Amino acid sequence: PILDWISAPVGGIDRLQAIEVTESIGVVMRVALLSGFTVSLPYIIFELMMFAAPGLSPRARVIGIFSLPLVILFFVGGMLFSYYFLLDPALEVLLNFMGIPTLPRPSSYIRFVTTLMFWIGISFEFPLIAYVLSAMRILKPDILRDNWRIAVVLISILAAMITPTIDPINMLIVMVPLLLLYVIGMILASLAWRGRREQEAQQA
C-alpha cells in the first residue's frame, strides 16, 4: 500500500520500469527503512532524552517527554506537505523536461520521493526544536531574531539543495514554507522563554 501511494503521482507502480533483477527488492527495503524510521522516531528521541536526562533539570525532562508526540506529528506533517504540494509540480517539470517523456525506474523514483519527503519532514521539526530549547533556557529567542538575515540565506541554500528541479517556482514552493517555519520557531521560542521567565519571577 505504501508503494502504491508513493507511486500514485506517476500513475501507479505499473508505470515504473525496472531494469535490474534486484531493483524491486532494493525499493521495498528502502521504503520499509523509511517507514520504520518514521514509526520509531519518538522512541529514538525518547532514548536520546534519557541519555541526556542526568544533565537536565526536572522541568527540562518534562518538556522533552511531552514533546515526543509532536516530533512524529511535525515530521509526518512535513512529509505529507512535500507529497501533496511539492511532488506534483516537481514531477511535471522533471518527467517532461525539454518535451522528452520519461519513464522512471523504481529505484531512482522512490529514492527521489523518499529523499524529498525525509528532508522536508526534518525541516518541519525546527519550530518544535526552537520551542523546546528555549523552554530549557538553552536557546535565546534574540539569537533567532538577530540572525534572521543569515537564516534567509541558509534557508535559500537549503531550498536549492532540496528542490529537485532547477526552476525558481519549485524552489519558492520549498523556500516559503521553510521561512514560515523559521518565523513560527521564533514566535514559539519567544513564548517559551517568556513563560519560563514569568514562572521564575513568581517563584522568586
Question: With contact defined as beta carbons under 8 Å apart, do 200 and 137 qualify?
Answer: no
Choice between 109 and 197, residue whose per-residue pLDDT is larger: 109
* pTM for the model: 0.78
Q: Residue 61: is it exposed, middle or buried by C-beta count within 10 angstroms (0-12/13-18/19+)?
A: middle
Q: What is the per-residue pLDDT across 36-60, written as a single tens digit (0 to 9) for each?
A: 888 887 788 778 777 877 777 777 7
* Cell numbers standing for residue 195: 513563560
Read off the pLDDT of each residue in 108-113 and give the average, rounded to a whole number: 86
In this prediction, residue 23 has a pLDDT band, given cuts at 50, 70 and 90, of confident
Rounded Cα–Cα distance for residues 39 and 36 (Å): 5
Rounded Cα–Cα distance for residues 31 and 111 (Å): 9
Supply the mean pLDDT for the chain.
83
Read off the pLDDT of each residue in 5-10 and give the average, rounded to a whole number: 88
Choice between 189 and 1, residue whose per-residue pLDDT is larger: 189
* Cell numbers standing for residue 72: 512524529
pLDDT for residue 193:
83
pLDDT for residue 2:
83
Nearest of 60, 112, 106 to residue 83 by alpha carbon: 112
Question: With contact defined as beta carbons under 8 Å apart, do 123 and 78 qualify?
Answer: yes
Rounded Cα–Cα distance for residues 41 and 75 (Å): 9
